Structure 1
């Protein structure tokens, strides 16, 4: 911090300045320049104040602040931004400050004593920014710790802390947080943030869903992964859970979870699972014909693929025949009860 006391010295000329004595900060010499009539014609109605680096051939990064000290009062600090000062003859980076530091007529007001005995006192604070001590260390040597986001949300689900909704699935209760569910699923968002009755509910009964599938669904919503949900399950049980989870993902609009379930099922696909799953709408990977012939040939063999095609066509034809037969039967049933009299005779 440096103090500069000087006479107002008005009318010494625009661009003329008074310098303070040198002071040393951070190993470099500095002075304060005071322009009583402004440093240019644009600022001739103001006083100008600048900080100047006086050390030759020096480059210093610093920031500084200046204020006026009156007899009993002080002005507010004017704070400059951090910048690079370059010393040396002819350098344009010697100084930094304010062309219009303060309007002269404000100094002459009697409501303050910043100007007293026709003198001004400046207080200047200079802070030199040194080079970082770790400048020689490569940033690539630092390793960021792994993300704990999914683990933290998984712990939140397990702890049930702050849970505000409970799902009842075939007698099993699952506690969760509405805000997390709404953020991850458009279906849950409509339920909890829209006009639906579930918005104020604290308990919701989930129909037509297996508890294990709903538990895996919640785990994925909170952690964006299946985690250990399939660990320890037999092959058949794991496939069964994936099929139920695929239905749950479709029900709650979890597209990423749907894709994961589909791809996992594709790894172990057979005639039975393909025939069952290809009938479901919305299964992009398992929709009929979308896996490609090469995928089918590797997974279940060409003959099995042909068998699936015929099985699907036979099922479609059977449903069509059943629909036609039911329609015709209904027509004749209704027709048999009609009475169309011509005179006193019935047509049937």
Structure 2
């Protein structure tokens, strides 16, 4: 018999917020020696679904029963009147930033009732297993937390029965699993420095006109299964693939330097949305030390919005003078003389031109 309920109001999980955070443990052995059972280190706070969270890591277990294990917990760090519902997972990462299936644990829906409440795994992984594994490299390792926060949206009062609730789209998660976990059906391999990445031609071609031309164009070599990438760093290429499969950037690729590199990669492979995301990030972090480099990057890769943001910053005479006194100004003069002429025409008084 089907189960249903009558109600004078309906509540539907209409919104979710997703995010991920990586905690990297440097100096594993020293941390294990210094910290007693029940003691922990915590990650920096991160925000998902309008709430602040952090990860706690217990190198010698959270209690006496788990003293031979690593323990990891997710803690809510903000007020949560009425409780916050969330699902999450912890996963050990390999050297390429991919989840290790054997040490990946998914947690069912849990309600965090108050600030400081936590949930996790007291026996996430045996210490001896980590110490014998390849995942402990240079005395460090990383654990990623994928977090989905539920937001209940109350509709107006109604007496209609609710039989079906449609969940939010999880297409990006399934495609991400193809890249990061099982890699079923991969048909092309990229050699990038010392790293190797397996991928699917059809997905790459659907997201990038450059890959489409390379794999399926008139001059394509369809039987070609291995491609060597010479001029992109492995970490940048990994972030590019992650975006192509999931339409999002990993937490480990959110810094300004990575955004600069990804502008170049996104322009090269014509991944327009990624390029704009990185442009937006860079436009919000312009200062006198980096504006010359950013302006050269914007000019060389046709980032018109970023270029205008740089010009707006340089409209201030003091900012312009500090930029012209920087070491990167010489690079701008040599690499982009046309943008320098435009800068002069816009901002320098007639007698100085």
Same fold (TM over 0.5): no
- Which one has the bigger strand percentage? 2
For normalisation by structure 1, the TM-score amounts to 0.44
TM-score by length of 2: 0.44
